[in-house]
Amino acid sequence: MGLSSFNTPITGWQDQRIWVIGASSGIGAALARQLLANGARVILSARRTDLLEHVAGAHPRALVATLDVQNTADWLGAYRQIQQRFNGVDLVIFCAAAYRPERSWEVVPEAALQMLAINVGSVYTGLATVLPDMMQRRTGGVALVASVAGYMGLPTASVYGPSKAALINLAEVLYGDLHSLGMNVYLINPGFVETELTQKNDYAMPALQTPDQAALAILHGMKRGQFEIHFPKRFTRVLKLVQCLPYRLRFFLFKRFLA
Ligand SMILES: NC(=O)c1ccc[n+]([C@@H]2O[C@H](COP(=O)([O-])OP(=O)(O)OC[C@H]3O[C@@H](n4cnc5c(N)ncnc54)[C@H](OP(=O)(O)O)[C@@H]3O)[C@@H](O)[C@H]2O)c1
């Protein structure tokens, strides 16, 4: 690999077939809109068909494929639709997630398992759906939208945080496995973005961005062939620094500023 880009830089989105999972709102919807505006063919998936259709806006290069990521049959049905319409997919962006701020003592095990199934388990189903064809073609890409909440254990991210830490780890595994086979793998770690998801937070969110800013940063990072795309840098760099601190110091800071 040398010191060149981690992934093949994307020179243009024209006619690229991009499957956005979680395209009905927030970052996924903004990504879908920007990709369509940039000439890509976009498959929009999530559960709320009405919102997906609204984002797609009867665009001739858009395909709405409703799916619940927890349902394997939905994945297969959506992929069949994609094959019929576009004869395959070049990049899958795993952007769907559930979030609930909760202290560790508030966690209900069944609800925790469901969040893990949506945020992590479903990615395995999606990978099993698309990877065989990509591996045969020796081309394609996958992008996992994790979070800076996966960098370290933060208060109230009792289930969400571990789910995002798992995705960060999985993206590293995927890069090791797939890059040498000609595929691109992206790990996306946003800071705070103003969406339905963060409406659940009752604290001030530093360096809050709009979904459009987030989508722009993601597409920019992909164009440059980055592996980890994290933003906004003024926030994520501080967190990366804290992540390097010894636990004694890190826990002291958390107690002082976050408890
Ligand atoms: N907002 C932030 O500050 C922030 C920060 C770091 C990381 N992220 C990550 O960014 C991604 C997008 O989040 P967002 O902030 O844009 O939140 P959002 O607006 O709530 O979007 C979440 C998306 O996931 C979809 N989804 C949820 N459960 C699903 C299911 N069972 N099946 C199919 N789709 C499902 C939702 O669609 P339906 O409800 O229509 O199914 C929606 O399109 C997530 O992975 C999130 O963890 C967000």
Look up the domain containing 41 and give its range.
17-257
Contact between 193 and 209 under an 8 Å Cβ cutoff? The reply is yes
Asked if residue 3 is part of any domain, the answer here is no
Q: What is the pLDDT of residue 2?
A: 54
Cα–Cα distances (Å) from 239 to 73, 78, 186, 253, in that order, read 39, 37, 20, 12
Written as six digits, the tokens of 131 are 């990877």
Whether 5 maps to a domain, the answer reads no
Domain count, the chain: 1
- The Cβ of residue 255 has, within 10 Å, a number of other Cβ atoms equal to 10
Q: Which atom of ligand 1 is nearest to the CA of 119?
A: 45
| Å from CA of 86 to ligand 1 middle | 25
Residue at 187 is within a domain:
yes
- Whether 175 has a pLDDT exceeding 90, the answer reads yes
- On whether residue 9 sits in a domain, the answer given is no
Q: What is the C-alpha separation between 119 and 76, in angstroms, rounded?
A: 18
Percent of the chain whose pLDDT exceeds 70:
98
The reply to whether ligand 1 has any atom less than 6 angstroms from the CB of 56 is: no
**Are residues 123 and 167 in contact, defined by beta-carbon separation less than 8 angstroms?**
yes
* Helix, strand, coil percentages for the chain (3-state, nearest 5): 50, 15, 35
- The CA distance from 69 to 54, in Å, is 20
Q: Best of 19, 27, 194 to mutate for ligand 1, by most ligand atoms within 8 A of CB? A: 27
Spacing, Cα 81 to ligand 1 middle (Å): 22
Q: Is the CB of 25 under 6 A from ligand 1?
A: yes
Over residues 231-241, mean pLDDT = 97
- What ligand 1 atom has the least distance to the C-alpha of 149? 6
Query: Is residue 47 within 6 Å of ligand 1 at its C-beta?
Result: yes
Residue 1 lies in a domain: no
Q: Answer yes or no: is pLDDT of 127 > 60.
A: yes
Instruction: Render pLDDT for 49-93 as a digit per residue (tens, 0 to 9).
Output: 999 999 999 999 999 999 999 999 999 999 999 999 999 999 999
Is 195 close to ligand 1, i.e. is its CB under 6 Å away?
yes
Over range 189-193, report the average pLDDT. Answer: 98
Question: So what's the pLDDT on residue 3?
Answer: 66
CA of 3 to the centre of ligand 1 (A): 33
- The answer to the question of residue 4 being in a domain is no
Q: Say yes or no to pLDDT of 122 above 70.
A: yes
Atom 8 of ligand 1, residue of closest alpha carbon: 147
Q: How far is the CA of 24 from the centre of ligand 1 (A)?
A: 8
Would the CB of 190 count as within 6 Å of ligand 1? yes
User: Is residue 4 very low, low, confident or very high in pLDDT (cuts 50, 70, 90)?
Assistant: confident
Band (257; pLDDT cuts 50, 70, 90): confident
The domain that holds 132 is classified in CATH as: 3.40.50.720
- Is residue 121 assigned to a domain? yes
**Which pLDDT tens digit goes with each residue over 149-171?**
999 999 999 999 999 999 999 99
Q: How confident is the model at residue 258 (pLDDT cuts 50, 70, 90)?
A: confident
Each residue of 144-181: b (16+ CB within 10 Å) or e?
Answer: bbbbbbbbbebebbbbbbbbbbbbbebbeebbeebbee
Is residue 10 one of the residues assigned to a domain?
A: no
Nearest atom within ligand 1 for CA of residue 211: 16
Ligand 1, atom 2: closest residue by C-alpha? 193
